[in-house]
Amino acid sequence: DVKVTQSSRYLVKRTGEKVFLECVQDMDHENMFWYRQDPGLGLRLIYFSYDVKMKEKGDIPEGYSVSREKKERFSLILESASTNQTSMYLCASSLKAYEQFFGPGTRLTVL
C-alpha cells in the first residue's frame, strides 16, 4: 500500500512564525501536491511538483513556498504565518494525475 506521511497531525503557531510542513511518500511517485481544506471551500491546490527540484504554483500560492530536494519528500513552508492560514493541510502523491494518495493531514492553527 502507498503510504504518505505528514510530520504533524496538529500544530499551533504564532503569527509571524516560520512554519515547515513535511510530507514523505514511500512509493517512488513523481507527483506530489499540497492542498489546504477549509469548510465550504473544499480542497484548494497550493503548490505541486512533478519532479525533484521542480515546483509549480497552484491556485493559492500566496504566502507559501515549497521545496523538493528529494523525490520522496515535499515540504510546504509558511514564511510568516498569518491567522488566515489556519487550516487543514493535506499532502498527496501520485503516479498519474488522478490517482492521488493523501496523507493524514496537518491541522494548523495560527494564533
Q: What residues have CB less than 8 Å from 8, skipping those under 6 apart?
A: 21, 106
66-29-59-56 Cα dihedral, nearest 10 degrees: 60
Q: Output 28 or 38, the one with its CB closest to another protein.
A: 38
In terms of CB distance, is 37 or 67 closer to another protein?
37
Q: Among residues 6 and 18, whose Cβ is nearest to another protein?
A: 6
- Residues interacting with another protein, by CB under 8 A? 35, 40-45, 90, 96-100, 102-105
Q: If you ran DSSP here, which 8-state letter would residue 84 be given?
A: G
Beta carbons within 10 angstroms of residue 111's beta carbon: 10
Residue 100: CB minimum distance to another protein, A? 7
Rounded CA-CA distance 74/91 in Å is 8
**Nearest-approach distance from CB 78 to another protein, in angstroms:** 20
- For the CB of residue 47, give the shortest distance to another protein in the complex, in Å: 13
